[in-house]
Amino acid sequence: MNAAEFVQPDRLWSDLMTLADITDPERPHTRRSFSDRFLDGRRWLEQRFTEAGLTCHLDDAGNLIGRRLGSADGAGTIMSGSHSDTVPDGGRFDGILGVLCALEAARAFRDAGLVLRHDLEIVDFLAEEPSDFGLSCIGSRGMAGALTTDQRALAAPGGETLALALARMGGRPERLDTPRRTDLRAFLEVHIEQGIVLEQDGLPIGAVTAIAGVTRVEILFEGRADHAGTTPMDRRQDAAVAAAGVITFVSRRATELARSGQGHMTATCGIVGVSPNASNVVPRSARIVVDIRVSERAVVEAFLKELETTSLRLASEAHVRLERFRCLSDTKPVTCDATLIRMIEQAAGQLGLKHRQIVSSAGHDAAFVAQLCPAAMVFVPCRDGRSHDPEEWCSPEDAANAARILTQALQDIDRDF
C-alpha cells in the first residue's frame, strides 16, 4: 500500500495557514522562540499531534515530540520534523512546512491503516532560528548532546539564562549532559529552499546533499566617548571607525572567497551597534556579529584567522581596543546520507516529480540530528527565493508534493532500514 496516496493537500494547507496566523498581530508572521506567542503555537501543534493519534511529550531539550509506535520491538525510531519558531517578521513556511508535512505523513499512515515497523516521531525542534541568546538550533543541539554548559549559561538582554529559558519551555537542562539517543535510525526534514535555484530550474523537488556550516563571531571594540564637535579628528578613539573597517573587510574578502571555487561562502555583518549612539558623541564602543556560512571547513578556519588579525590591526589604527573577539556558535558543514538521498530521489521518481540534487546554504536542525543517525532533507521552491520575510511563499501544490515525497520516503526507510 502506498500511504502517499492518503496525503490530503487541503488538510495540510489549512494547517499551514492556521499556524501562520498564530502571530504577533503587529508583526506578521512572527512567533519568536521562548515567547508567549510561540507557546500558543506549541499548544495548537500538540492538539493536532494528539488528534492524529500521536502520543506527545517534551524531551529534555524542550522539543515537542509526537510518537506513533511501530510493530517491531527494538526496530528503533524514524524521525521527521523541523521547527515552528520564526525570525521577526518572518514567513509562513520556514520550519512550519517541515513540521506539518511530517504531521501529514503520520496522518496518511493512520488513514491508510498502515503501521510501520519502526516507531515514528514527529518533532518540533525548539528555537531553530537565532534567539535572544545569540544561538540557533537550540533544541536539536540539545538532542544531539551538543548544547554546552557555556551555551546554557548564555543570557538574553533581560538577564534570563538559556538554562532558565529551557526550563520555562518545559525542558530539563540539568539532564542535557546525559548520553545521547541511540534509538534513531533515520531523520528526514522538509523545508522551503530559501533560494532561487529550484524555482528558476522549474523543479518541484530538491534532494539536499550537504548543509553548510554556520559560524557566528562577536567582535567588540572599545574606545572613548568624546564631544563630536570639539575633539579633533586625529585625537579620537572612535570605536565605530574600527567596526566600519571590519564590515568592509568581511564583505570584500567573502566575495573573493565565494569566487575562488572553494565551495559555498557567505559572510554577513547582520548585527551592528554603537554606544552611546548619539549624533554628537564619538562612539565609545561598537559591536558586530558576523554570520559566516561555508560548505568547506578549511575556508572558515582560514577566514577566522584573517578576521581576527584584521580586527586587531583596525583597532590599532583607530586607537581603540579589541575588547572581545569570540565565537558565539560554530557548526561544521554536514554531508547528507547517500542512501537517504537516493530514497528521496526514488520517491520523487515514483510520484512523477522532476528533481535535482542541491546544497543547503542555510543551517537546519538536520545538521545536528545527523550526529545521531543518517539524515537528509527535501527542498521545495519558494517564490522568488524569498524567506525570513513576510512575502515568503510556497504554493499549495509544492507543499503537497513535499508531503507526498516525505510519506513515500518514510515508508521506504521503514522497509529498508
Annotated binding site for allantoate: 216, 280, 293
Q: How far apart are CA 240 and CA 375, in angstroms?
A: 43
> How many angstroms from the chain centroid is the CA of residue 168?
21
Q: How far apart are CA 350 and CA 283, in angstroms?
A: 61
Q: How far apart are CA 153 and CA 176, in angstroms?
A: 13
Residue ranges for the known binding site are 83, 94, 129, 191, 216, 280, 293, 388
- Other Cβ atoms closer than 10 A to 149: 10
Sort strands 64-68 and 119-125 into parallel, antiparallel or unpaired.
antiparallel
Q: How far apart are CA 1 and CA 349, in angstroms?
A: 17
List beta partners, residue 209. none
Nearest CA-CA partner of 243 in 216, 271, 264, 262: 271
Q: What's the DSSP call for residue 180?
A: P
Q: How far apart are the first and last CA of the chain?
A: 18
The conformational region for residue 65 under phi > 0 = left, psi -120 to 50 = alpha, else beta, is beta
Residue ranges for the known binding site for Zn(2+) are 83, 94, 129, 191, 388
Q: Where are the alpha helices (DSSP H) in 138-283?
A: 138-143, 149-152, 162-168, 197-201, 239-258
**Hey, is 14 helix, strand or coil?**
helix
For the chain, how many helices (H) and strands (E)?
12, 13
Taking a C-beta distance cutoff of 8 angstroms, is the pair 402, 101 a contact? yes
